[in-house]
Amino acid sequence: MSHNINSLKQQFLEYIEIEKGRAVKTVENYDHYLSRFIEQSKIKQASDISETVIREFRLWLNRQVTGNNRATGNTLKKKTQNYYMTGLRVSELCSLTRDIDIRADEFSIRGKGDKVRVVFLSENAKKIIKKYLDKRTDAEDALFIKMDGKENKGPDSGLTRRSIERIVKQCAVKAGISKKVTPHVIRHCFATDLLSNGADLRSVQMLLGHANISTTQIYTHITDNELKRVHQKFHGKKNQE
């Protein structure tokens, strides 16, 4: 099979149209985003794609002024930028098995790049997982399985990415959240919550499993905005007492 990036792109587009039944417009959008990535990054084959290449492409996207934005000088909206970026770490959740010791405060997981890192459990998380497992009557290895009222057997019983995305969406609706919520949004909230409460960037990098701290730095913009707000609110104000 050819490893030429354009050939692989074409195979992917045909796959999502024929095998996955995606709409023609969806396929066209994927074609546009992938083509722009290939053109800008100058990659020739799949092995050329690295974390550095992705990071540089994200920086490039963040600095683009196009279309109607030319008059205002505004760059691409974050939502538009995110359309170009196709990976989720929800795969780590899908890979969990029942052999983790929920009595402990931590467990190891093999994540992106086949690297092992430690994941910590809160007391509340441990209680909820135990309650969930106590209700399970099956002998499946997967920690989380599809609960559709039918007996689940075999490797297809475990939750998939799509299943988890659907669950998160349904829970967000029940909670009255109008904005789009995805597993990655929850991961993002985890990172910004740590940073907002004083965690150092290196620790957050380790908890997220990022190979390069530059990847973690994309989460700092929210805390930077908070620092700006504090600065504007308190700096240079005369004592009114």
User: Is 89 labeled as catalytic in the residue annotation?
Assistant: yes
User: Is 184 labeled as catalytic in the residue annotation?
Assistant: yes
Which helix H or strand E contains 104, and what residues bound it? none
User: Is 79 labeled as catalytic in the residue annotation?
Assistant: no
Name residue 227's amino acid.
Answer: L
User: Is 3 labeled as catalytic in the residue annotation?
Assistant: no
∠ CA 170-30-74, nearest 5°, is 85
Q: Which of 89, 126, 146, 169 is catalytic?
A: 89
Helical H segments across the chain, by residue range: 5-18, 24-41, 51-62, 78-83, 90-94, 123-134, 161-174, 183-196, 201-208, 213-216, 220-234
User: Is 127 labeled as catalytic in the residue annotation?
Assistant: no
Nearest 10 degrees: CA dihedral of 115, 131, 191, 95? 30
User: Is 84 labeled as catalytic in the residue annotation?
Assistant: no
Q: Which of 112, 146, 169, 188 is catalytic?
A: 112
Helical H segments across 155-219, by residue range: 161-174, 183-196, 201-208, 213-216
Q: Which of 55, 126, 187, 188 is catalytic?
A: 187
Nearest 10 degrees: CA dihedral of 218, 223, 228, 232? 170
Give the 3-state secondary structure of residue 48: helix
Name residue 11's amino acid.
Answer: Q
Q: Is 181 left (phi over 0), alpha (psi -120 to 50) or beta?
A: beta
- Specify the length of the chain in residues: 241
Residues annotated as catalytic (active site), given as ranges: 89, 112, 184, 187, 210, 219
